[in-house]
Amino acid sequence: MGIIFDETKRTFTLNTRESTYQMQVDAFGFLLHLYYGKSARGCMDYLLTYADRGFSANPYDAGEDRMYSLDVLPQEFPCRGNGDFRSPAIDVQYADGTYGCDLRYQSHVIREGKYRIPGLPAVYASEEEAQTLEICMEDPVTHLQVVLLYGVLPELDIITRSVRVINAGSQKVYLERLYSASLDFVSGSYDFLSFYGRHAMERNCQRTPVSHGSQVIGSRRGTSSHQYSPMMILAERETSERNGSCYAMNFMYSGGFKGEVEKDQYNQTRMSLGLMDEMFRYPLESGEVFYAPEVIMSYSASGLNRLSQNLHKCIRCHVCRGKYKEAVRPVLVNSWEASYFAFTGESICRLGESAAKAGIEMLVMDDGWFGKRDDDNSGLGDWYVNEKKLGMSLGELTKRINDMGLKFGIWFEPEMVNENSDLYRAHPDWALAVPGRKPVRGRNQLVLDFSRKEVVDAVFDQVCNVLDQGNIEYLKWDINRSIVDVYSASTHEQGRVLYDYVLGVYDFLERLTQRYPDMLIEGCSGGGGRFDAGMMYYTPQIWCSDNTDAVDRIRIQYGSSFGFPVSVVGSHVSAVPNHQTGRSTSLHTRGVVAMAGTFGYELDLGKLTEAELQEIREQIAEYHKYAPLIQNGLYYRLTNQFEGEVGAWAFVVEDKTEVLLNAVLLEIHGNMTVNYVKLQGLDTDAMYREKSSGKLYSGAAMMEAGVPLPVEFGEYRAYQMHFVRVDEENR
Ligand code: GLA
């Protein structure tokens, strides 16, 4: 059973296939965290220790017992105001000006299936696949209720957490901070893995020892951001890709967030993740309810790669939705790096003709087809087709592309407006701006106030009107700036605006997915600036970075793989020299790198030679051969792409019968030494045949000694080797 309540010990135990999570209601009604780690039996309350600790406060109910302090004991949901001076998960202020809460256990419910969260994305599962635990905590004085939600998916080794706050008291409450999950570790020495970056260089992996004090990551940008991924890992010092204990928290939310790892005075560690608390002050009138977004947690006793695989499966099968969630996506060509804003309907059709000849399956018309939009200074907000620029209607263009045998897709940036647009001229108050101040611009655009339903409704109608003009099977949803001016004309409570904005985005996306259930939506924010599990609930793929350079992409995709599956990673072959770096790599290398994602192209195919077009045809055929394995296989990081001469990764079928090894030589030197790539996840007793050479390899030796890469001349060579277990060959 996934969730067990022991009435005598008052413990809640959550079991997954390989992990156990335990907490206990103590004599005072406080909920203490006992354990999260490798599967364990029995009650672990002996982990709680008591001593008289100076300057660690004691709750009144403990009487004269100076050994009981919440400043030292591991908490399940730490709050400000009860004597724990570490970083709280909840901080409230009441209308009378007082702060704090004192949460005591009231009741709990265990049920089959996975809870949902109104208005917010959440992991979903069938009644058989998941269980839910709700623990209701209440402040006896103010009657603030905090319901802790746990979703347990035993087969996936996943536990989700969320929080519902109910103002059951009579006075108004302000939520000043509400994290979704907090985990206390009474012992251990850890490293903190976080994923930092910038536009066009997202999700670099950083591993630092947890030291005294707090290490904080987050986003104040209103979106999850390029700068930090809302995903974090705590790993024991000796943990590697293959061995050791590690814990992940992955935030299913697309707005600002804060993640903290804190080491306290007694060397205990607290890891927490939730909503950004700056510019957050959410009002709750008596009777009102607030929902915290979900955190997906996982534990692995067998290293980081396994931890990532747990998250991959969860996101691929229990977060992404719709027709495309487990389907191989159409190979697309996107017009952005092909022609930027300079296109007409005819030139799009020419791109379509070359695409069809090369075996590409979908054409996406990127930015520039609407309003007055010949550069990025005007037009956003005017979602009507610029037929003059296109020289034809959208219906006609779509039909012509469809007649070539291609699907048709289109780009939007629904949350944005340029001052030079009809929408802004008609509704200047729909843009976020602080009264009396000039708004701060980003890419010369302003942000529409999606916390207001009438704004969301108006843009939704415009977008649907365009989508209904032809057979449009794909939509790219972009957002190309961070939010600065937080002021909504619709409320006096500006501390709620950023959260309500995200709810507005989700509402729009939910309506869109319901109205167009067969449409593939790809998320984007200047590449991977809103690359999070929240968006993945609506958009089963996200353009991973505006950087299409194959060598940089290896690193960006490597960092992304810690928390996210390849099935969500938008990845394209583009032109050389690369538009972001000026680097040249072979078409083969670009193809191998782009295949570690939802494969596509983004270049002017009309400029390619016949031989290059032929190579693309072969590349697409290769991709089709491997696509199910890439999409659904287990993903292994075989090297650290930030260190060493080789970047290597593999896809292995779960039953170990097939593996696709990918490697790119990142450095070249004179008289090169041989690089051996060690595989993982193979059958040690089996022999595997490499399909193009016919050579036989031992599964055990491939993992122990590795597979040698050829010593060849030239930079950035890529290798793709497909091995099939010998007993499976003739099936
Ligand atoms: C963003 C996206 C690009 C492209 C442009 C269009 O930067 O990441 O792929 O769509 O916007 O303006």
* Mean confidence (pLDDT) of the chain: 97
The atom of ligand 1 lying closest to the CA of 476 is 10
Query: Tens digits of per-residue pLDDT, 329-354?
Result: 999 999 999 999 999 999 999 999 99
- The answer to whether 595 and 569 are in contact (CB under 8 A) is no
- Catalytic, 532? Answer yes
Cα of 388 from ligand 1 centre, angstroms:
22
Q: Tens digit of pLDDT for each residue in 510-524?
A: 999 999 999 999 999
Residues at CB less than 6 angstroms from ligand 1: 336, 366-367, 376, 411, 478, 480, 524, 526-527, 543, 546
* Nearest-CA residue for atom 1 of ligand 1: 526
Point out the ligand 1 atom lying closest to the alpha carbon of residue 340.
6
Q: Of 263, 282, 298, 239, which is closest to residue 21 (Cα–Cα)?
A: 298
The C-alpha R_g of the chain, in whole angstroms, comes to: 27
Query: What's the pLDDT band for 718 if we cut at 50, 70, 90?
Result: very high
pLDDT of residue 387: 98
Question: Could you tell me whether strands 173-185 and 158-167 are parallel, antiparallel, or unpaired per DSSP bridges?
Answer: unpaired
Nearest by Cα to 373 from 427, 332, 338, 423: 423
Q: What is residue 524's predicted lDDT score, i.e. its pLDDT?
A: 98
Task: Judge if the upstream peptide bond of residue 283 is cis by omega within 30 degrees of 0.
Answer: no
Q: Which ligand 1 atom lies nearest to the CA of residue 526?
A: 8
pLDDT at residue 598, as a whole number = 97
Task: Report residue 566's pLDDT band, with 50, 70 and 90 as the boundaries.
Answer: very high
Nearest to 501 by CA among 453, 429, 446: 453
Pocket probe for ligand 1: among 333, 336, 543, the residue whose CB has the most ligand atoms within 8 Å is 336
Query: Which pTM was predicted?
Result: 0.98
Considering only CA atoms, which residue is closest to atom 2 of ligand 1? 526
Task: Kindly indicate the confidence band of residue 731, based on its pLDDT and cuts at 50, 70 and 90.
Answer: low
How do residues 362-398 score in pLDDT, each as one tens digit?
999 999 999 999 999 999 999 999 999 999 999 999 9
Query: Which is nearest to 234 in space by CA: 247, 220, 217?
Result: 247
pLDDT of 53 reads 97
Predicted local confidence at residue 205, as pLDDT: 97
Q: Is the pLDDT score of 729 beyond 90?
A: no
Closest atom of ligand 1 to 376 CA is 12
H or E stretch covering 593 = helix 587-594
* Closest ligand 1 atom, residue 602 Cα: 9
Residue 546 C-alpha to ligand 1 middle, in angstroms?
7
Check whether 13 has a pLDDT greater than 80.
Answer: yes
Give the Å distance between the CA of 367 and the centre of ligand 1: 7
For ligand 1, the distance from its centroid to the CA atom of residue 337, given in whole angstroms, is: 9
* Predicted local confidence at residue 425, as pLDDT: 98
**Which residue's alpha carbon is at the smallest distance from atom 8 of ligand 1?**
526
**Which pairs count as long-range contacts for 124-132, CB under 8 Å and 24+ apart, including other chains?**
124/318, 124/319, 124/321, 125/151, 125/153, 125/318, 129/153, 129/155, 129/318, 130/2, 131/1, 131/2, 131/3, 132/3
Q: Which atom of ligand 1 is nearest to the CA of 366?
A: 10
Q: Quick one: pLDDT band at residue 730, thresholds 50, 70, 90?
A: low
Catalytic residue (one of 129, 532, 546, 549): 532
CA terminus-to-terminus distance, the chain: 38
| Strand partners of residue 135 | 108, 148
Beta bridge partners of 318: none
d(CA 724, CA 697): 10
CA of 334 relative to ligand 1 center, distance in Å: 10
- 612 catalytically annotated: yes
Identify which of 370, 416, 474, 524 to mutate to test ligand 1's pocket (most ligand atoms within 8 A of the CB): 524
Listed in order, strand segments (DSSP E) in 189-268 are: 190-198, 201-209, 213-219, 231-236, 246-251, 257-263
How many other CB atoms sit within 10 Å of the CB of residue 58? 18
CA 573 / ligand 1 centre spacing (Å): 15
Q: Among 337, 416, 445, 478, which is best to mutate for testing ligand 1, by the most ligand atoms less than 8 A from CB? A: 478
Secondary structure class of 587 (helix, strand, coil): helix
* Percentage of the chain exceeding pLDDT 90: 99
The encoded tokens of residue 432 equal: 């976020």
- Which of the four pLDDT bands, split at 50, 70 and 90, describes residue 199? very high
pLDDT value of residue 428? 97
Residues 175-185 have a mean pLDDT of 98
Q: What is the pLDDT, as a whole number, of residue 621?
A: 97
Position in ligand 1 atom list of the atom nearest CA 527? 8
Q: Which two tokens stand for residue 476?
A: 């790219």
Candidate from 337, 370, 373, 480 with most ligand 1 atoms within 8 A of CB, to mutate: 480
Residue 184 confidence (pLDDT) above 90: yes
The Å distance, Cα 525 to ligand 1 centre, comes to: 7
Q: How far is the CA of 79 from the centre of ligand 1 (A)?
A: 42
- The tens digit of pLDDT for each residue in 109-127 reads 999 999 999 999 999 999 9
CB atoms within 10 A of CB 626: 19
Q: How far apart are CA 354 and CA 77, in angstroms?
A: 58
Q: Which mutation among 365, 366, 474 tests ligand 1's pocket best, with the greatest number of atoms within 8 A of CB?
A: 366
Give me ligand 1 centre to Cα 547, in Å: 11
Concatenated DSSP letters of 423-485: HHHH-GGGB---TTSPPPPBTTBEEB-TTSHHHHHHHHHHHHHHHTTTTEEEEEE---S----
User: Which residue CA neighbors atom 4 of ligand 1 most closely?
Assistant: 336
Q: Which of 337, 546, 579 to mutate to test the pocket of ligand 1 (most atoms within 8 A of CB)?
A: 546
The torsion angles phi and psi of 60, rounded to 5 degrees, stand at -55, -40
- Contacts of residue 227, defined as CB under 8 A and 6 or more positions apart, other chains included, come to 196, 197, 198, 219, 221
Distance (Å, rounded) from C-alpha 559 to C-alpha 232? 11
Taking CA atoms only, the protein residue closest to ligand 1 atom 12 is: 367
Q: What is the pLDDT of residue 288?
A: 98
Give the integer Cα–Cα distance in Å for 273 and 259. Answer: 4
Q: Whose CA is nearest to atom 3 of ligand 1?
A: 526
Burial of 388 (0-12, 13-18, 19+ CB in 10 A): exposed
Q: How far is the CA of 345 from the centre of ligand 1 (A)?
A: 19
Residue 74 to residue 53: CA distance in whole angstroms: 15
Nearest CA to ligand 1 atom 6: 367
Give the separation between CA 314 and CA 553, rounded to whole angstroms. 24
The predicted structure's pLDDT at residue 728? 77
Contact predicate 688/726, CB 8 Å: yes
Calculate how far, in angstroms, residue 714's C-alpha sits from the geometric centre of ligand 1: 32
Cα distance between residue 277 and residue 273, in whole Å: 11
User: Three-state SS for 189?
Assistant: coil
pLDDT, tens digit (0-9, with 9 covering 90-100), for 233-288? 999 999 999 999 999 999 999 999 999 999 999 999 999 999 999 999 999 999 99
> At which residue do the structure tokens 């991973």 appear?
544
Give the model confidence (pLDDT) of 447-477 as tens digits: 999 999 999 999 999 999 999 999 999 999 9
Whole-number Å distance between alpha carbons of 379 and 445 = 9
Residue 479, burial from CB neighbour count under 10 angstroms (0-12, 13-18, 19+): buried
Q: Is 347 exposed, middle or buried (0-12, 13-18, 19+ CB in 10 A)?
A: middle
Q: What is the DSSP letter of 306?
A: H
Element (H, E) at 348: helix 345-358
- pLDDT beyond 80 at 506: yes
CA of 415 to the centre of ligand 1 (A): 14
* Nearest-atom index, ligand 1, CA of 524: 8
Percent share of the chain, pLDDT over 70:
100
For atom 11 of ligand 1, the residue with the nearest CA is 526
Place of tokens 């103590």: 26
Residue from 18, 176, 612, 622 carrying the catalytic annotation: 612
Alpha-helical segments (H) within 595-711: 610-632, 699-704
